[in-house]
Structure 1
Amino acid sequence: MKDNIQPLPSEVAAVLGAPDRLAALDAAMPVFLGPDPDFDDIAALAAALFVVPIALVTVLGRKDQWFLARQGTPEIRAPSEDSFCARMLAACPGEPMAVADTHRDPRFAGLPSVTGEPRLRFYAGAPILLGGRAIGTVCVFDVEPHAGLAGDLLSRLQRLAGLAASLITLKDEARRRTLAAEALSREEKRHALALDAANVASWLWDISTGIVSGNETFYRMLGVRPAKPMSARKFFTSVHPADRKVTIDRLRSALATGKEYDGLFRAAKTGRWLLGRGRVHEWDAAGRPTVFLGINVDVTDGQLASERTRLLLRELNHRVKNTLAMLQSLARQTLRQTSDPVEFMEAFAGRLQSLSEAHGLLSDHEWGVIHLKMLLQKQIMPYAMDYENQIEIHKDEVELGPDQAVGLGLVLHELATNARKYGALSVRSGKVVITARVVNEDGQRVLNMTWHEVGGPPVDPVGRRGFGSVLIERSLDKILGSSVHVEYLPKGVTAVVRMPL
């Protein structure tokens, strides 16, 4: 019961709630984790110094006084408002204090620990000061009064309080270092994970020892196993021989000038293209570089894409030249067959469209190979009234190169336009049967294709033979060993194509 306890003196309340004192306590000890064995010896020395049964090392909060170490009591805290130490700090700021007999001192006589168990009669305490702010005390108690204290006991108690302050400071610094190390470790792990996720290799060259070390990605890119630090010589030999001299020269230049290293090289073992960046990070007292930091980024896909683009441009340049030559020939031959501008444009535009369709297919496939089925559909479908029912195709799976696709495209265009104007595709009952088979002739694959029209109007061989026939038979001239033979049979046109693949 606290009915007889005096109200908390204002000066004591001011000490407990002092913002700067509480801030110093919170900075040094944000959380009380319980008694700390490291402070036990201080409590024991204080008890022995005064020959008393109870000694404490405390930190004084606004509401509670916590015990870092205690001797002679099982408690680990007490209310701050009932604290001897709060009253000591209010009465003697920054100085030690002793109360020989609590019953005779009105400041302490009414405290619960005096009027009730353990009925304390003697107290001595010294403040634990951090930056001039009292955050706690080293104090002793007895159930008997003490008279005539030796003159140096309080000063020695103050030295123990100073020792406690030093220990709190050291522990706080250790805690901060631990937190900083943990934060640094988390940051390093985050950076490592980010580099790994981005497939970026990081490496450090200790020039003084000649050792190069890096992250796991670094060793993986170079194909170095096991993944462990290596000599600079081994690092340089991991660069492809064709790129080694340029890479070494650029690194030497970066070492000599302090400027950034920037280079592109292939790894000798993996063949991967790596973009390297780095610079000197540390120098010795004489200005010589001692540590070089760098990163590598795998740019193989970009390099291969760039190479494919260069090859495609060269191929495209070649094709354009061939196409221009073909266009000139088509224009001259078409003009020879007609002087009517309308007829010329109709015939010439159709042949241009045929070339365009073939080029479009090849472009979609990066000027590689295209399937015969695609070419047949592109060249014939525009001229059939009902493609599904009028065009019957029996074929093997055939892939065509650029020259083959362009030449055969012109053949199919001329056959299809002729069939639409005069032959099987000019009536709905007509039909074109195409057979394409691949045979092996002396170790070479050869396409044998026939075009046979049925169900169309009767064929007049004399009226049908003209520039279109000549063009059909010459469209494959650029393909060595190829041939086209057209027969204008009364029941329908038949064309036989032979073309090495």
Structure 2
Amino acid sequence: MVHRLTWYEPQRGDEYLREFFITGLMDIGATLILQDAEGKYSCITTLPMRFRLTGSEPPTDRGLFGEDIGRRLEDMKARLRQPGDHAEMEIDAGDDTFFEFRCRMITMANGQNNLMTVVIDRTEDRRRERLLRALLREVSHRSKNLLAIIQSIASQTARYSGSLNAFLGKFRGRLHALSQSQDLITDSSWSGAYFRDLLRQQIEKYVQDGAADLIQVTGENVLLTPNASLHVGLALHELTVNAVSHGDFVARRQRIEVNCERVREEGKDAVRITWTEPLGPTDGEAPARSARFGSTVLERVVPASVNGSAVHEVRPGSVYYELTFPLDAEA
């Protein structure tokens, strides 16, 4: 027998098909209800546990679904009079559960009109929709933050660049550092990035393989918030590029010491990151070195963006940078 792309063997019998359909309805979380034209119930399958079905009295909409939902169903069904008439509505059943009711007037094989109602549990669908909306809001929030960071970087880079080529070189490098940090944040489902992963990204890009062991990392591998990850990654980029471009730690085979640790600042958990880079023995180079390291990004942009503070000094024999900020620093 073929009817609207439906086929079955009539000789299988009603019992065989009944078991098949009920099992299928249970699997997809659907309820099928059949009533005659006067509203008398003739069949109910796989009713959800939250609704009541007792054998003491004939079922009714209000008896099955409660006064409020039952009244709304009765009103909707009353408008269905001719075969093909249909209506649907979604109901908040309480306790964060949602059900969709689809009602249709149909003509049975015996020529009688019957009212068919399909009830579908939409609870998981609504939860997924709420999660998706929350994720989209988070994406929008993060995107706006990232654009604000890029705007700030562009402004500061342009202010301290003497030519267009110098601006483009610095700006591209800083954008690349941001994109790498953002990749780490995205891979962690926006929970943030670990400090050593942020440092490793910069070492791999700017420090030759033979010199990577000259950057010694100690302390804790702290998981930083997304906002802190972006800005700490930017600070590490500045420090690494400066050390490679202007320093002599590679030629002299002296280690840069990097440390990250949890501390207590004003009664709150905080993170302290330090960078100690060895300098050559010529004291006369210190003023120029100090001017080069007078980076607005390191001294102003990064600490202000993570609600922290920074120390940036050229000391006898070394360049020292210290960044301290709250552990939960977020935009």
TM range, normalised to the smaller chain? 0.7 to 0.9
Q: Give the Cα–Cα distance (whole angstroms) in 2 for the partners of residues 234 and 494 of structure 1.
A: 76
CA distance 1:331–1:232, shift in 2 (3 Å): same
Q: Give the Cα–Cα distance (whole angstroms) in 1 for the partners of residues 11 and 78 of structure 2.
A: 31
**CA shift digits 1:43-69 (9 cap, x unpaired):** xxxxxxxxxxxxxxxxxxxxxxxxxxx
Residue 48 of structure 2, aligned match among 197, 219, 243: 219
Q: Give the Cα–Cα distance (whole angstroms) in 2 for the partners of residues 412 and 251 of structure 1.
A: 67
**CA shift digits 1:121-145 (9 cap, x unpaired):** xxxxxxxxxxxxxxxxxxxxxxxxx
Q: Give the Cα–Cα distance (whole angstroms) in 2 for the partners of residues 379 and 251 of structure 1.
A: 67
Q: Which residue of 2 aligns with 1:35?
A: none
Structure 1 gaps, min length 5: 1-178, 239-243
Q: Which residue of 1 aligns with 2:298?
A: 472
CA distance 1:262–1:342, shift in 2 (3 Å): same
Instruction: Tell whether the 8 Å contact from 2:33 to 2:117 is kept in structure 1 after alignment.
Output: yes
**CA shift digits 1:72-92 (9 cap, x unpaired):** xxxxxxxxxxxxxxxxxxxxx
User: Offset of 1:304 from its aligned partner?
Assistant: 3.5
Q: Which residue of 1 aligns with 2:61?
A: 232
Instruction: Tell whether the 8 Å contact from 1:276 to 1:297 is kept in structure 2 after alignment.
Output: no
Q: Which residue of 1 aligns with 2:174?
A: 351
Which segment drifts farther, 436-445 or 406-415?
A: 436-445
Partner SS for 1:293: strand
Equivalent pairs counted in the alignment come to: 304
User: Offset of 1:463 from its aligned partner?
Assistant: 1.5
User: Offset of 1:415 from its aligned partner?
Assistant: 1.0
Partner SS for 1:368: coil
Q: Give the Cα–Cα distance (whole angstroms) in 1 for the partners of residues 25 and 169 of structure 2.
A: 62
Q: Give the Cα–Cα distance (whole angstroms) in 2 for the partners of residues 496 and 399 of structure 1.
A: 18
2:296 is equivalent to residue 296 of structure 1: no
**CA shift digits 1:270-290 (9 cap, x unpaired):** x3444443424479xxx9x86
User: Offset of 1:350 from its aligned partner?
Assistant: 0.7
Q: Which residue of 2 aligns with 1:463?
A: 288
2:31 is equivalent to residue 202 of structure 1: yes
Q: Which residue of 1 aligns with 2:205?
A: 382
Q: Which residue of 2 aligns with 1:187?
A: 17
Please give the residue correspondences for 1:71-150 in structure 2 after superposition, counting only pairs within 5 Å. Answer: none
CA distance 1:214–1:395, shift in 2 (3 Å): farther
- Aligned Cα RMSD in Å? 3.7
Q: Which residue of 2 aligns with 1:307?
A: 130
User: Offset of 1:395 from its aligned partner?
Assistant: 3.4
CA distance 1:201–1:433, shift in 2 (3 Å): same
CA distance 1:293–1:336, shift in 2 (3 Å): closer
Instruction: Tell whether the 8 Å contact from 2:198 to 2:229 is kept in structure 1 after alignment.
Output: yes
The normalised TM-score by structure 1 is: 0.52
User: Offset of 1:442 from its aligned partner?
Assistant: 5.8
Instruction: Tell whether the 8 Å contact from 2:299 to 2:312 is kept in structure 1 after alignment.
Output: yes
Letter of the structure 1 residue corresponding to residue 16 of structure 2:
R
Q: Give the Cα–Cα distance (whole angstroms) in 1 for the partners of residues 52 and 64 of structure 2.
A: 12
Q: Give the Cα–Cα distance (whole angstroms) in 2 for the partners of residues 211 and 441 of structure 1.
A: 71
Residue 104 of structure 2, aligned match among 260, 263, 279: 279
Q: Which residue of 1 aligns with 2:217?
A: 393
User: Offset of 1:498 from its aligned partner?
Assistant: 0.8
Q: Give the Cα–Cα distance (whole angstroms) in 1 for the partners of residues 107 and 71 of structure 2.
A: 20
Partner SS for 2:166: helix
2:148 is equivalent to residue 325 of structure 1: yes
2:276 is equivalent to residue 452 of structure 1: yes
Q: Give the Cα–Cα distance (whole angstroms) in 1 for the partners of residues 15 and 207 of structure 2.
A: 73
User: Offset of 1:294 from its aligned partner?
Assistant: 0.8
Letter of the structure 1 residue corresponding to residue 102 of structure 2:
R
Q: Give the Cα–Cα distance (whole angstroms) in 2 for the partners of residues 211 and 368 of structure 1.
A: 53
Instruction: Tell whether the 8 Å contact from 1:436 to 1:450 is kept in structure 2 after alignment.
Output: yes
CA distance 1:377–1:299, shift in 2 (3 Å): farther
Partner SS for 1:257: coil
Q: Which residue of 2 aligns with 1:497?
A: 323
Q: Give the Cα–Cα distance (whole angstroms) in 2 for the partners of residues 388 and 251 of structure 1.
A: 75
The normalised TM-score by structure 2 is: 0.75
Q: Give the Cα–Cα distance (whole angstroms) in 1 for the partners of residues 61 and 239 of structure 2.
A: 69
Between the aligned residues of both structures, percent identity stands at 24
Instruction: Tell whether the 8 Å contact from 2:51 to 2:64 is kept in structure 1 after alignment.
Output: no
Letter of the structure 1 residue corresponding to residue 304 of structure 2:
D
Letter of the structure 2 residue corresponding to residue 233 of structure 1:
R
Q: Give the Cα–Cα distance (whole angstroms) in 1 for the partners of residues 53 and 250 of structure 2.
A: 74
| Higher-Rg member (1/2) | 1
User: Offset of 1:225 from its aligned partner?
Assistant: 7.5
Which segment drifts farther, 255-264 or 488-497?
A: 255-264
Q: Give the Cα–Cα distance (whole angstroms) in 2 for the partners of residues 353 and 446 of structure 1.
A: 27
Which segment drifts farther, 391-400 or 187-196?
A: 391-400
